[in-house]
Amino acid sequence: MQATIVQAVNDALHTEMGRDDRVVVFGEDVAESGGVFRATDELLEEFGSKRVVDTPLSEIAIVGGAAGMAMYGYRPVAEIQFSGFLPPAFDQLVTNASRIRWRTRGELSAPMVVRMPYGAGVRALEHHSESLEGAYAHIPGLQVVVPSTPADTKGLLTAAIRDPDPVLFMEPKRIYRSIREEVPEGEHEVPIGEAAVRREGEDVTVVAWGSMMPPTLEAVEEGGVDAEVIDLRSISPMDTETVVESVKKTGRCVVAHEGPRTLGVGSEIVARINDEALMYLEAPIERVTGFDTPVPLLSMEDFYFPHPPRILDGIEAALAD
Amino acid sequence: MSDRESDIRAPPATGDDGGGEVRYLSQSDLSVPTHQIVAPDGSYDERAVPDLDDEEFLDLYRWMVTDRVFSRRMVNIQRRGELGTFGSTRGQEASIIGSAFTLRPDDWLYVGRAWTPMFMRGASMKDMILFWRGIEEGQEAFAKHNSQIAISIGSHLPLVAGIAWGMHLDDADAVATAYLGDGATSTGAAHEGINLAGSLGLPALFFCQNNQYAISMPYERQSGANTIAQKALAYGIDAIRVDGQDVLAVYDAVQSARERVTEGEPVFVESVTYRLDAHTTSDDPTRYRSDEEVEHWEAHDPIERYRQFLKSEGLWSEIDHDAVVEEIDAEFDEALAAANEMEERAVSEMFTYLYDELPPELARQLAEFEDLLERRPEMYDYIEHRPKG
């Protein structure tokens, strides 16, 4: 079937709730209203008010409650309405969800998913635009997944729901409805921890994920560059091998991401390339990223996250020497 | 999850409109009783005594003594350098034992400052020694009995609400219980956890031991609320305030609360007690409280009060107190010996249990580190001799 990213989220939830009674969906405005982006539309009608639940405006209780429910044996899929509202619940991810298994030597675990739309560019108010995947990927024990296509969204969300450990599932809301493609009907799983090569090329490796994929591909097309474009998909665990093998081939690399540069995911990618492929590099690795500022309010947000001309500029810099 | 009374949200009806005057809702209008069965002087009304058999009455005593002996022994071995730190529960025995005595194996229990409940649920003193030595087998053992210790104050209340939510989905005949302290009630997580339980009608039991201090901060400076119990009302949750030095009153209150919780109504219990020892062995309470205050509470010793009750009931003659203590000391000696027998664990343990499957980067870090340890065995010497805080 043809579907957008947000429809693929909905399809994955329907499919997995139908397959496994332990899957429970909750969050703010997810049941009766079907979610502010309609990601949970029709779930209440199909699965009833015990398994699809509107919660109070309580991020700490949503994430902590999901962890407790998961410890007890359910498979909660909790929604945080916008990633900018996750920080109050950061404590529950750091203090509880990510370390239940570790703390009890596997006696208990927290198989849960926290879904949330992230990223700038939808002309919303403050706190509706963050891309802090780097901060979340810094938490040991928490997996962080960011899809960029409808088919991957369904496959990765399915994998996240079935995963025995917690997953933070960051949905690229800027492209929620802008891409429509064929999405497999029924069960569809894409493994967590594997990057996808979106385009093969010889001259430079470009790594991006989530809502940075369309502008990255556009920059490559626009510039007529023979670039290998990697969609990381999984921030944690990261598929280092795919990136390193590509860089060994091309000798040049650009990382494009929306979040702040300092200690961003790009920093880690550069470090891993240094560890494993430094002698293959023909030029410094370029990072095209958001700035170390808050995401500006909507009047200026377009200057914050990388657009194709900026990404192309980075690619050309990597190709220059 | 209760059905709404009405789908129409109407403005407030006329009627009780305050007669046109601004009227305040005030805590000074609240009357908050404190449930007590055995008075400090040992007197009690026979009719109020919970329906327990003799063996159960004696068990309550044995567990309270267990709690006290365990704290004493743990403080002692900490002073000998055999533990990292320890938080004594002396003074809180009635609060801890009276509440835990009501719990059943299928119930879940997340505690702060309450260790003996783990023994009552089947874990061993050895497991608790391991926990305080920073060995994960402790929490693993507690988990086998649906129990955990929460270290980050208040952070466990949302978890307990989530566990209760699972029980609600299962229609389980069980309750999820959070033990918390007065300090935890100032946290946002406690607010959200309790509110969630109230809003969804979850089988959660919140048992708050108000031991008067969050380390050095006395309760009256933690909150403007006269009592902690009253805070529950704002969540639509009924509360009980109980004399935490009276084991029978605590048992009675929590037993009643547990029953109500199984009917789908969360309950909050404030147990008014006192931490006679330091917050942990790293704390010096003489910096923030007076000897007179401690002496006052020592005069309200919960074990002593219960002893009066047992004497009045003619049950005291059934107990050989010295033999009870001796038995618990022997159990502790055995537990300590077993804990000391623990073999050194492989460094890989740090990595192994984080995920169901070890991800490549972690495998790599582990391999690098194992290689380093092999190449530089002086690491072990350094770690052994490093001055420890």
A187 inside domain? no
User: Does the beta-carbon distance from B139 to A101 stay under 8 Å?
Assistant: no
Residues A176 and A215 in one domain: no
pLDDT digits (tens, 9 = 90+) for B321-334: 999 999 999 999 99
**If you average pLDDT over residues A108-125, what whole number do you get?**
96
Predicted pLDDT at B6: 55
Residues A19 and A150 in one domain: yes
**If you average pLDDT over residues A27-51, what whole number do you get?**
98
Residues A94 and A217 in one domain: no
At CA A80, angle to CA B8 and CA A130, rounded to 5? 125
The amino acid occupying position B224 is: G
Predicted pLDDT at B9: 75
pLDDT digits (tens, 9 = 90+) for B74-101: 999 999 999 989 999 999 999 999 999 9
**If you average pLDDT over residues B10-23, what whole number do you get?**
74
Q: Which residues, 6 or more positions from A101, have their beta carbon under 8 angstroms from its beta carbon? A: A108, A109, A110, A141, A165, B353, B354, B355, B356
- In chain B, where the domains are located: 32-340, 349-385
Residues A291 and A258 in one domain: yes
A124 inside domain? yes
Domain containing A118: what range?
A: 2-182
What is the separation of C-alpha A314 from the centre of its chain, rounded to a whole number of angstroms?
23
Q: Are A128 and A184 in contact (CB under 8 A)?
A: no
Helix (H) or strand (E) run with residue B190 in it:
helix B188-200
Mean pLDDT, chain B, whole residue set? 95
Q: Does the pLDDT of residue B1 top 50, yes or no? A: no
User: Does the beta-carbon distance from A55 to B158 stay under 8 Å?
Assistant: no
The amino acid occupying position B72 is: R
A17 inside domain? yes
pLDDT digits (tens, 9 = 90+) for B135-191: 999 999 999 999 999 999 999 999 999 999 999 999 999 999 999 999 999 999 999
Q: How far apart, in Å, are the Cα atoms of A291 and each of A130, A211, A215, A272?
A: 12, 16, 17, 22
Predicted pLDDT at A321: 72
Question: Residue A232's domain is classified under what CATH number?
Answer: 3.40.50.920
- Return the structure tokens found at B95: 């609060």
Predicted pLDDT at B2: 45
Closest CA to A78 of A40, A38, A127: A40
Closest CA to A162 of A139, A190, A204: A190
Closest CA to A170 of A86, A262, A101: A86
Residues A21 and A169 in one domain: yes
Which residues of chain B neighbour A51 with C-beta distances below 8 Å? Answer: 169
Tell me which residue has tokens 């560890």.
A275
Closest CA to B52 of B108, B93, B102: B102
User: Does the beta-carbon distance from A96 to B155 stay under 8 Å?
Assistant: yes
Strands (E), chain A: 2-3, 23-27, 52-54, 75-79, 113-118, 143-145, 167-172, 181-182, 196-199, 204-208, 227-231, 234-236, 253-260, 286-290
Q: What is the largest CA-CA distance in chain A?
A: 61
Residues A156 and A250 in one domain: no
Predicted pLDDT at B106: 97
Q: Are B104 and B145 in contact (CB under 8 A)?
A: no
Q: Which residues, 6 or more positions from B170, have their beta carbon under 8 angstroms from its beta carbon? A: none
Q: Are B204 and B260 in contact (CB under 8 A)?
A: no
At CA B60, angle to CA B58 and CA B64, rounded to 5? 120
Which residues of chain A neighbour B166 with C-beta distances below 8 Å? Answer: 68-69, 71-74
CATH T-level assignment (fold) for domain B32-340 = Rossmann fold (3.40.50)
Residues A48 and A173 in one domain: yes
At CA A274, angle to CA A273 and CA A275, rounded to 5? 90
A31 inside domain? yes
- Assign B178 to helix, strand or coil: strand
Q: Domain ends where: A125, A156, A182? A: A182
Predicted pLDDT at B344: 86
Q: Quick one: pLDDT band at residue B388, thresholds 50, 70, 90?
A: confident
Q: Please provide residue B365's backbone torsions phi and psi, each rounded to the nearest 5 degrees.
A: -60, -40
CB pairs under 8 A between A and B: 144
Q: Which of A67, A88, A99 is opposite residue B188, by nearest beta carbon?
A: A88
Question: Residue A6's domain is classified under what CATH number?
Answer: 3.40.50.970
Of A128, A188, A257, A307, the catalytic one is A128
Predicted pLDDT at B389: 64
Q: Does the pLDDT of residue B3 top 90, yes or no? A: no
**If you average pLDDT over residues A35-62, what whole number do you get?**
98
**If you average pLDDT over residues B355-365, what whole number do you get?**
96
A190 inside domain? no
Of A146-155, A311-320, B8-17, which gets the smallest average pLDDT?
Answer: B8-17
Q: Which residues, 6 or more positions from B120, have their beta carbon under 8 angstroms from its beta carbon? A: B63, B97, B100, B101, B103
The structural domain count of chain A equals 2
Closest CA to B1 of A128, A192, A53: A53
A191 inside domain? no
- Edge-to-edge, what's the strand order for the sheet holding A234-236? A52-54, A23-27, A75-79, A113-118, A167-172, A143-145, A234-236
Residue B278 Cα, gap to closest chain A Cα (Å)? 25
Q: Which of A58, A103, A241 is opposite residue B196, by nearest beta carbon?
A: A58
DSSP B268: E
Q: Does the pLDDT of residue B277 top 90, yes or no? A: yes
Looking at per-residue pLDDT, the higher value among B183 and B4 belongs to B183
Predicted pLDDT at B10: 72
Residues A172 and A43 in one domain: yes
Predicted pLDDT at A89: 98
B279 catalytically annotated: yes
Of B275, B300, B305, B307, the catalytic one is B275
Mean pLDDT, chain A, whole residue set? 97
Residues A34 and A160 in one domain: yes
Q: Domain ends where: A128, A159, A182? A: A182
Q: How far apart, in Å, are the Cα atoms of B99 and each of A87, B51, B64, B117, B209?
A: 35, 15, 11, 9, 10
Q: Domain ends where: A133, A157, A182? A: A182
Q: Helix, strand, coil: what percent of chain A each, to 5?
A: 40, 20, 40
Q: Does the pLDDT of residue B309 top 60, yes or no? A: yes
